[in-house]
Structure 1
Amino acid sequence: MAPRVDGFEGDAALPARVDVCVVGGGVIGVMAALTLAERGVSVALVEKGRIAGEQSSRNWGWCRRMGRDAAEIPLSVEALRQWEGMDARLGEATGFRRAGVVYLHETPRHAAAHEAWLEHARPFQIESKLLTPDEVQALLPGAARRWHGGMHTPGDGRAEPSMAVPAMARAARRADAAVLTGCAVRGLDLVAGRVAGVVTERGRIGCGAVVLAAGAWSRLFLGNHGVDFPQLKVRGSVLRTEPLEGLPEQAVGGNGFAFRKRQDGGYTVAHRGGSVAEIVPDSFRLMFDFLPALRKQRDEIRLRVGRRFLEEARLPRRWPLDARTPFEAVRVLDPEPMGGILDEARANLARAFPGFAGMRVAESWAGLIDVTPDAVPVISPVAALPGLVLASGFSGHGFGLGPGAGRLAAELATGAPPVVDPSPFRLSRFARAEAPDAAALAA
């Protein structure tokens, strides 16, 4: 079941030519298109399904700097700066609030890890601080137990994904971006090995640059052009409750649960450490890329074999651009939520905060999160395909980072000075992506 998302109707007319084409209507692609349009760059955003149809509406809605990988901290600072002024920029509500984020410590080991992270945060003047057990109790009344401590960033926030991304798309269109939905991009039109346009199911759009922000579909898209992007998918399950009173305003992550208050008075709830990595053919192709991460996160990722193995095994990995593609066969990835994992999350949460014991579930859903071996996104030109910028592999961080990541992708596509150093996000850090398939590129 998909979460309810504010409606957005795409444009009917396909532009003949734009400066930049953005592939993918999630938060990264939409913010790239908005940035470009606001700067007077002609842009078309093309989405095979609907705006925010996949992970951009299915995430937790956290907008945080706290706990980010050191490579992501500058981007998260820029993203939060933009989130702060987003409602005024769009002229619409996104549900953004600086309500704070708290991570709870089960053991001294958790506290030590966060103390080490603070060393990365200090140069950016992030106001994160470690909490004593007494400070946690004072900050989060209603807890049924005493934690070892916690880490708190009062300036971090939350927003409503189902509201925010469609509002961004409407703002991009008001700024003269073309926004097309239900229109799959089949592939890149290459002239002398360089991007000259995109081929969609409705026809060709000429352009000098493309931003590929296709989320979980990016590896398949790039593979058709001979680029081996190491990316897998992880299924995350989420629920939302009916309104509840007297519970924390902060977004909170603990052992086996996470929650944040919603604008409607309910809560978004998930299992922190309950993501499922479904075994698919790419799991074997990329085994040695992801094995170190799997060992490191063995307590957070659950492996599962199911029907998705056969579904992905049947997907074509190569196709001509004048034929129907996998992007037209499946418009929206809509996996079933894992009921057992959500039941665990509810039980863990109710034990920790008894005020949740009577929660009534309004709806639940799941999404496929696109992940890289180091859990850091790629926001980078693709050397093998001049004119293409890849913005994918956000590993569950895309919504919060979206405004900053979209801006950086737009700047890389146009050659504008980048808002942050893009080198930590370069595609070339993965050796396999530097060796394109020559036969595929020539096809």
Structure 2
Amino acid sequence: MKGFPISMRNPVVYPGPPPPDTDVVVIGGGVIGVCAALYLARAGQRVTLLEKGRIAGEQSSRNWGWIRQQGRDPAELPIMMEARRLWQDLAAGTNEDFGLRQTGVTYLAETGKTLASYEAWAGIAAAQGLDTRMLSPEEVAVMFPGLTRRYAGGMTTPSDMRAEPWLAVPVLAGIAARAGVCIVENCAVRQLDLAAGRVTGVLTETGRIACAQVVLAGGAWSALFLRNHGISLPQLSVRETVVATEPLADVHAGAAADDGLAFRRREDGGYTLAGSGRAELFIGPDAFRALPHYLPQLRAAPFDQSYSPAAPRGYPDAWGTPRRWSGAEESPFERMRILDPAPNRRLVSRACRGFEARYPELGPVKVKAAWAGMIDTMPDIVPVIDRSPDIEGLVIGTGMSGHGFGIGPGVGRCLAALVTGGELGHDLSRFRASRFTDGSAIRLPPL
């Protein structure tokens, strides 16, 4: 399969040039930005999407490819259920196959305590009409023949889906371009152009573009972009390592995870593997600033991630990365067109050994490719989807916390509605930017 993950080796598809003026500028060519641009164009807006590197070059082509309703925060779940329907509509609107399949997602419980947490979440799902159901140990064994581990039970959502992210997001970008979105790759937005506290344009590496509204969907770079404007958002980014195996026997068509391993079938006959709950945080200035916001998460799951004392040079929270620059200066976004972290080889080996141990009949698991991505995460593990309380004309969609690929169309439509004043269709109060400054307690999701 071509292009996993997307990197600077991929040719530029959208060279520009950017227009001198537009109605809305979308910053960031990941799944959130692409979907926001698409739905803005469908709402009649003139839209320009600017990407500093390549469409889907960062986490949007590096994720697991799960389109998962299961396990979502209760406030996220309605948006995710809409996103699933939108994925189907988008797939029906193109003749390009990006691997969208309804094969379900299953969580496997190794302990009674974990199973009880799944049962509690299944009640949330039932209240919203989702088809989630609990599995007994015997039902798990039937659903996963050949799996050597025995579990206390499980939880499955048959309507959940999967797709190949390195194919899907470029296809969505093509749909957006045909809808009239002007997409420009290799064009970093250095900063907003403001007058009296409101957006009047953006300053890019190629010049100014006049506009009245901006959608910031910069993923791991969003907090750095905002800090240059004096806005502090406690978003951090963590590294996760992913493995693509060579083709293997078909042991399970969908996606599944237990306490140590997540896996899903790919269209090329291999499996995508990742260590479940194996994020790595590179500690930098923003990590220290944001620490008070993250204390509830650290207390709840102190060992869910590992820590390194410093990020590589040029990363968003590296010690040497500038926090201030002008529109006339080269920005950190130009210096690192694509955030392309090296995979953790120890975790690659662990994932392969874990899959072999669970399915010894497969024999040795051969690695086709391995990569890593930097996931934009928030203290309460839910995103910001909101108008900026500080800058008029700025809408923020960031901090997807590893959930962005699946929910991308739903969040993109909501961001478009925030820009146009259209019908939101969902209560977005859980995702307001001010929750980190108005004294609200940090509230973690149930799973």
Instruction: Please indicate, yes or no, whether the TM-score normalized by the shorter chain is above 0.5.
Output: yes
Out of 338, 341, 346, the position equivalent to 1:340 is: 346
Out of 191, 197, 207, the position equivalent to 1:193 is: 197
2:261 is aligned to: 257
2:58 is aligned to: 54
Structure 1 residue 131 corresponds to structure 2 residue 139: no
What are the equivalent positions in structure 2 for 1:12-411 lying under 5 Å apart? 12-308=16-312, 312-411=318-417
**What is the rounded CA distance, in whole Å, between the counterparts of 1:287 and 1:165 in structure 2?**
33
**What is the rounded CA distance, in whole Å, between the counterparts of 2:86 and 2:304 in structure 1?**
30
Total equivalences in the alignment = 433
SS in 2 for 1:236: strand
Select between 325-334 and 77-86 the one with higher mean Cα deviation.
77-86
**Pairwise CA distance, 1:356:** 4.2
**What is the rounded CA distance, in whole Å, between the counterparts of 1:155 and 1:299 in structure 2?**
31
Q: Which amino acid aligns with 1:53?
A: G
**What is the rounded CA distance, in whole Å, between the counterparts of 2:236 and 2:313 in structure 1?**
13
Contact 1:280 1:309 in 2 (8 A): no
Contact 1:372 1:393 in 2 (8 A): yes
- Write out per-residue CA displacement over residues 298-331 of structure 1, whole angstroms, 9 at most, x where no aligned residue: 2321122245389611111011111111111111
**Pairwise CA distance, 1:351:** 1.4
**What is the rounded CA distance, in whole Å, between the counterparts of 2:238 and 2:208 in structure 1?**
33
Q: Which runs of 5+ in 1 are unaligned?
A: 435-443
**What is the rounded CA distance, in whole Å, between the counterparts of 2:95 and 2:213 in structure 1?**
29
1:419 is aligned to: 425
1:440 is aligned to: none
- Write out per-residue CA displacement over residues 280-306 of structure 1, whole angstroms, 9 at most, x where no aligned residue: 221111111112112212232112224
**What is the rounded CA distance, in whole Å, between the counterparts of 2:89 and 2:167 in structure 1?**
15
- Write out per-residue CA displacement over residues 117-153 of structure 1, whole angstroms, 9 at most, x where no aligned residue: 1222122211101100000011111111221110011
Contact 1:239 1:269 in 2 (8 A): yes
More helix by share: 1
SS in 2 for 1:308: coil
Deviant stretches of 4+, over 6 Å: none
SS in 2 for 1:243: coil
**Pairwise CA distance, 1:8:** 5.3
**Pairwise CA distance, 1:86:** 2.1
SS in 1 for 2:201: strand
- Write out per-residue CA displacement over residues 320-350 of structure 1, whole angstroms, 9 at most, x where no aligned residue: 1111111111111011101111212222222
**What is the rounded CA distance, in whole Å, between the counterparts of 1:251 and 1:152 in structure 2?**
10
Q: Which amino acid aligns with 2:437?
A: A
1:3 is aligned to: 4
- Write out per-residue CA displacement over residues 81-101 of structure 1, whole angstroms, 9 at most, x where no aligned residue: 111222112342221101011
Q: Which amino acid aligns with 2:332?
A: P
Select between 301-310 and 187-196 the one with higher mean Cα deviation.
301-310
- Write out per-residue CA displacement over residues 264-287 of structure 1, whole angstroms, 9 at most, x where no aligned residue: 111111000211112122111111
Q: Which amino acid aligns with 1:284?
A: F
SS in 2 for 1:313: coil
Q: Which amino acid aligns with 1:173?
A: A
Select between 293-302 and 56-65 the one with higher mean Cα deviation.
293-302
Contact 1:102 1:252 in 2 (8 A): yes
Q: Which amino acid aligns with 1:262?
A: R
Contact 1:118 1:128 in 2 (8 A): yes
- Write out per-residue CA displacement over residues 368-401 of structure 1, whole angstroms, 9 at most, x where no aligned residue: 0000100000010001101000000000000011
Q: 1:433 to 1:410 in 2, by over 3 A?
A: farther
Contact 1:256 1:344 in 2 (8 A): no
**Pairwise CA distance, 1:200:** 0.6
SS in 2 for 1:234: strand
2:444 is aligned to: none
**What is the rounded CA distance, in whole Å, between the counterparts of 2:102 and 2:12 in structure 1?**
27
Q: Which runs of 5+ in 2 are unaligned?
A: 441-447
Contact 2:199 2:394 in 1 (8 A): yes
**Quick one: percent identity of the two aligned structures?**
47
Select between 297-306 and 262-271 the one with higher mean Cα deviation.
297-306
How does the TM-score come out when normalised to structure 1? 0.95
Contact 2:4 2:62 in 1 (8 A): yes
Q: Which amino acid aligns with 2:372?
A: A
**What is the rounded CA distance, in whole Å, between the counterparts of 1:112 and 1:86 in structure 2?**
36
**Pairwise CA distance, 1:357:** 3.7
Contact 1:22 1:46 in 2 (8 A): yes
